[in-house]
Chains A and B, each alone.
Chain A
Amino acid sequence: MFEYWFFVILAAALTVVISLPLYRVIAGPTLPDRMLGASAIGTKTMVLILLIGFIFDRVDMFIDITLAYAVLNFIGTIAIAKYLTSGKEKK
């Protein structure tokens, strides 16, 4: 029971922490700033998914989701970085 409430509180705190980079995504002065915020949100969301797995006692299932999410987050960031540089000459 103790563990359950600890994980709920930790997940709630993590939600607050995740909402902070959202400001950078909305207000970020440049495009790379926004992407950095989005990738930071993705990294923290991974931990949130794991914590949800612990809260609902289905760790085995949520770990696989987390792995897929980690790979997707990485590939997504790399793809955006490639997209940023494509079609523009180096100054």
Chain B
Amino acid sequence: MSGLHVAALVVLAAGSFFLLVGSIGLLRFPDFYSRCHATGKSDTLGVMLLVLGLILVEGFTLNSAKLLLILTFVGLTNPTATHALARAAFQIGLKPRFRRHDSGTSPEEKKED
């Protein structure tokens, strides 16, 4: 196992961690717009890191160039897609939830209604 392989292992593990965080965030966050934060940021970084790890495994070939293309594409389109969904939701009148300062209702309590 060379040093490059160790680096690839670390990057792949970090990418999987961020994908896991994105998934958990999608389940745990209280409203739609907060969930957008989870998929828009964590998933983008997770996929980019995983593809970067695969580039490290693959080495310097034509396949790596194509993988780099995928990496760029995901980095450009994933935030755009998230923004498109959030904008659509805002336009059809889905209201974001705020934490009320005076009564102190926590987001967890609001999840039930």
- Interface residue ranges, A against B (CB under 8 Å): 2-3, 6, 10, 13-14, 17-18, 20-21, 23-24, 30, 32-33, 35-37, 39-40, 43-44, 46-47, 50-51, 54, 59-60, 63-64, 66-67, 70-71, 73-74, 77-78, 80-82, 84-85, 88, 90-91
Contact = CB atoms under 8 A, between A and B. Distances in A.
A32 B54 contact: no
Contacts, number: 130
25 contacts: A3-B57, A10-B12, A17-B19, A17-B20, A18-B23, A20-B24, A21-B23, A24-B27, A30-B94, A32-B32, A32-B88, A32-B89, A39-B39, A40-B39, A44-B47, A47-B50, A50-B50, A50-B54, A60-B62, A60-B63, A67-B73, A73-B81, A81-B87, A84-B89, A85-B87
Provide the main secondary structure of the chain B interface.
helix
Interface in B67-95: 67, 69-70, 73-74, 77-78, 80-82, 84-89, 91-94
Given A36-B32, A70-B77, A47 B51 contact: yes
A81 B84 contact: yes
A17 B16 contact: yes
Contacts of B39: 36, 39-40, 43
B81 A78 contact: yes
A32 B106 CA distance: 23
Contacts of A50: 50-51, 54, 67, 70
